[in-house]
């Protein structure tokens, strides 16, 4: 291997910050696993990072698209859904409590779901396994922490971008940032995007307006205050809920077309407005002590009404889809603040990085939902009508959740090779529900929980680092038992062992892990719709990932995830079964090559393959949903200030069912989506 294979000076590698841009494809540092600026190779937990370079190369349009090549993450759970980011981590649903922006939770409940615009993101980071010890109530599978774009520390950013895809959906975007004054004490960043056009489903649009300004004041190299905000408006339609017979398997009439809109434009719309404002403050008193505070207030209002499929009317051969007339108009307010300080000191040969913090969350949801039977739809000859949303309501309530947590962590470095991470946290959670339709069902109460983590890692000189860790988590559960008492928090615990390879010089990160993860105290039903808090699911698995620059201009991303998921406690009929909609195999590989010299300098091509294993549409595991393999590709050219690319996901235009949540709720995956993009940077 000659000296010119890796054109990446050490000074550039060392300049990466945990919350800053990723240099190329391979991130070296992350703050999501420890809340400190730590090398990924020194973190005794599985952490993966998708940076801006990868997002641009793959032309991702959502957070779930950004994680398609991330190990352990099942993206696009409900197929081609333009409304929400749905995902599983290590087999567990994680979007409600595992969706974070800049280290602060974007908690979702009911239909009040947040969504992030990827053009405004610098990183998408995945922490796999329980993470409550730093973040409070979360899914035991893990979390996604998105890092937003911030004013550049030095230099400037001036970028405009245009794109259009084969569904006649296009966007225009702009990204501007830099210093305002000559002393670089005031810096700004503005990202904005406007999108509009169709999707693979007829009469379904995907329209968006997004803007996110940020302003940093840095009076000295030790102090910085960044004030930031965001507004985003989405306008689209509901998603098709289709029966198993006619999508996964043939009906007597064949298969339901993937472009059929099963609702009605006279009624159907999905309108979401979300906004937030906050700040990030940090002050380094000296080389020992640093104080930080992150704060955000967010508001969301949503108006969604649709006619959705609830199975066949009569026999499948009749090809008549029964529909429900559904409406929901929730509003949500979320206040989060995290105050933390870290102290660096030594005790003999042991170096310590101690992190202590307190965070608080206040979440208020005003929920409104209504349903009544709707007019059926003939699948072979659909007739559109003039429908009005139902006036019937089955949910009218206000729920409030307050969570206060205190946490302490010590990252010990014993000598030059051995690292020990010890973390502990205690949370107090108060929950209140005011049920307007059934006042006797209103409740309020409180719960508390302790979370802990211990991790041990030994790093050899060549960059190989075996590790082992044990962690516990909790997640508050809304609702009451039959005796009127609150459901207990869900608990999670994981034992993980693995090895990482991250050399000091080359842009390479390889990881291998094995784990056993349990989700306990989850609420299930006994087959008669009685809620019982008796559930336990066990996930055992093996994951491997590689992210590397193999040669000048040649980058690789690869991963494989193999799981064994089993319901170990619950209703008798589901014991030993796999949870609905959860595959046990995930695999992906992406290669990207760009010519570095000669007349072809700046030209490149990329190709990827993604595989998802089979899952089940029912709790008895009798209705199997086949797995699928998809191919993505790109050709791109970059020279001077210009970059142009043609991307295609699902190049072969394969028709497949992404998953089913029941025998009457199956979801087609995204067909081929080819797009042309041109960007100019100056």
Domain count, the chain: 1
Pick from 63, 159, 74: nearest CA to 113:
63
| Tens digits of residue pLDDT in 472-481 | 999 988 777 7
Rounded CA gap, 504 and 96, in Å? 37
In a domain, 4, yes or no: no
| Residue 527, pLDDT score | 59
CATH number at residue 623: 2.40.170.20
Identify the H or E element spanning 157. strand 157-165
Q: In terms of C-beta density within 10 A (0-12 exposed, 13-18 middle, 19 or more buried), how is residue 111 classed?
A: buried
In a domain, 158, yes or no: yes
In a domain, 3, yes or no: no
| Residue 209, pLDDT score | 99
| Residue 41, pLDDT score | 96
Note down the domain range covering 141.
Answer: 10-681
Backbone angles phi, psi at 118, to 5 degrees: -65, -25
- Which value, to the nearest 10 degrees, does the dihedral of the CA atoms of residues 244, 247, 251, 255 take? 160
Q: In terms of C-beta density within 10 A (0-12 exposed, 13-18 middle, 19 or more buried), how is residue 365 classed?
A: buried
* Residue ranges, the chain, pLDDT below 70: 1-15, 526-530
In a domain, 2, yes or no: no
| Residue 478, pLDDT score | 79
| Residue 8, pLDDT score | 37
Q: In terms of C-beta density within 10 A (0-12 exposed, 13-18 middle, 19 or more buried), how is residue 461 classed?
A: exposed
| Residue 529, pLDDT score | 58
| Residue 11, pLDDT score | 34
In a domain, 1, yes or no: no
For residue 325, the tally of other CB atoms under 10 A from its CB is 23
Strand order in the sheet with 87-89: 73-75, 87-89, 92-93
In a domain, 428, yes or no: yes
- Given a contact cutoff of 8 angstroms between Cβ atoms, the answer to whether 86 and 76 are in contact is yes
In a domain, 659, yes or no: yes
């Amino acid at each position: 291997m000659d000296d010119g294979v890796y054109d990446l000076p050490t000074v550039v590698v060392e300049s990466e910050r945990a919350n800053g841009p990723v240099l190329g494809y391979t991130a070296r540092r992350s703050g999501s696993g420890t809340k400190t600026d730590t090398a990924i190779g020194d973190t005794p937990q599985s952490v993966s990072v998708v940076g801006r370079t990868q997002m641009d190369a793959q032309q991702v349009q959502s957070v779930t698209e950004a994680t398609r090549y991330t190990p352990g993450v099942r993206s696009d759970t409900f197929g081609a859904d333009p409304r929400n980011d749905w995902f599983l981590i290590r087999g567990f649903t994680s979007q409600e409590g595992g969706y974070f922006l800049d280290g602060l939770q974007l908690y979702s409940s009911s239909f009040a779901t947040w969504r992030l615009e990827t053009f405004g993101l610098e990183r998408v980071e995945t922490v796999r396994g329980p993470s409550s010890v730093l973040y409070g109530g979360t899914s035991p599978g893990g979390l996604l922490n998105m890092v937003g774009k911030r004013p550049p520390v030095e230099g400037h950013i001036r970028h405009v971008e245009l794109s259009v895809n084969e569904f006649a959906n296009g966007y225009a975007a702009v990204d501007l940032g830099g210093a305002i004054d000559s002393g670089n004490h005031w810096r700004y960043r503005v990202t904005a995007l406007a999108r509009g056009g169709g999707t693979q489903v007829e009469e379904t649009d995907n329209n968006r307006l997004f803007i996110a300004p940020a302003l940093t004041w840095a009076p000295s190299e030790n102090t910085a205050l960044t004030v930031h905000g965001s507004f985003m408006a989405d306008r689209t339609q509901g998603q098709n809920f289709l029966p198993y017979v006619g999508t996964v398997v043939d009906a007597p009439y064949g298969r339901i077309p993937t472009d059929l809109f099963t609702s009605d434009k006279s009624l159907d719309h999905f309108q979401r407005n979300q906004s937030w404002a906050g700040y990030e403050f940090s002050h380094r008193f000296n080389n020992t002590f640093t104080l930080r505070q992150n704060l955000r207030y967010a508001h969301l209002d949503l108006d969604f009404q649709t006619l959705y499929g609830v199975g066949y009317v009569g026999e499948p051969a009749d090809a008549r889809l029964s529909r429900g007339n559904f409406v929901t108009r929730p509003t949500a307010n979320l206040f989060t603040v995290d105050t933390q300080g870290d102290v660096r000191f030594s005790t003999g040969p042991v170096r310590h990085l101690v992190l202590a913090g307190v965070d608080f969350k206040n979440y208020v949801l005003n929920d409104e939902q209504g349903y009544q039977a709707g007019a059926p739809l003939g699948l072979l000859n659909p007739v559109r009508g003039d429908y009005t949303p139902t006036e019937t309501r089955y949910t009218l309530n206000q729920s409030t959740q307050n969570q206060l947590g205190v946490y302490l962590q010590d990252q010990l470095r014993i000598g030059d090779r051995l690292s020990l991470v010890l973390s502990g946290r205690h949370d107090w959670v108060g929950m209140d529900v005011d049920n307007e339709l059934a006042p006797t069902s209103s409740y309020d109460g409180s719960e508390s929980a302790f979370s802990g983590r211990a991790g041990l890692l030994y790093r050899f000189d060549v960059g190989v680092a075996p590790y082992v860790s044990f962690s516990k988590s909790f997640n508050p559960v809304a609702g009451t038992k039959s005796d009127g008492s609150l459901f207990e928090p869900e608990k999670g615990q994981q034992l993980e062992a693995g090895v990482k390879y991250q050399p000091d010089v080359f842009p390479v990160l390889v990881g291998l892990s094995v784990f056993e993860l349990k989700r306990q105290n989850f609420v299930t039903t006994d087959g008669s719709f009685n809620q019982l808090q008796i559930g336990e699911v066990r996930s055992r698995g093996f994951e491997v990932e590689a992210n590397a620059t193999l040669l000048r201009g040649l980058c690789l991303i690869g991963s494989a995830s193999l799981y064994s998921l089993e319901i170990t406690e619950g209703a008798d009929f589901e014991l030993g079964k796999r949870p609905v909609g959860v595959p046990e195999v995930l695999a992906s590989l992406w290669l990207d090559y760009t010519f570095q010299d000669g007349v072809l300098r700046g030209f490149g091509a990329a190709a990827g393959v993604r595989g998802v294993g089979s899952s089940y549409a029912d709790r008895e595991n009798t209705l199997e949903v086949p797995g699928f393999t998809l191919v993505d590709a790109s050709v791109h050219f970059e020279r001077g200030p210009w970059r142009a690319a043609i991307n295609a996901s699902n190049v072969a235009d394969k028709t497949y069912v992404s998953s089913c949540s029941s025998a009457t709720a199956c979801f087609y995956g995204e067909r081929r989506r080819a797009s042309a993009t041109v960007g100019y940077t100056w």
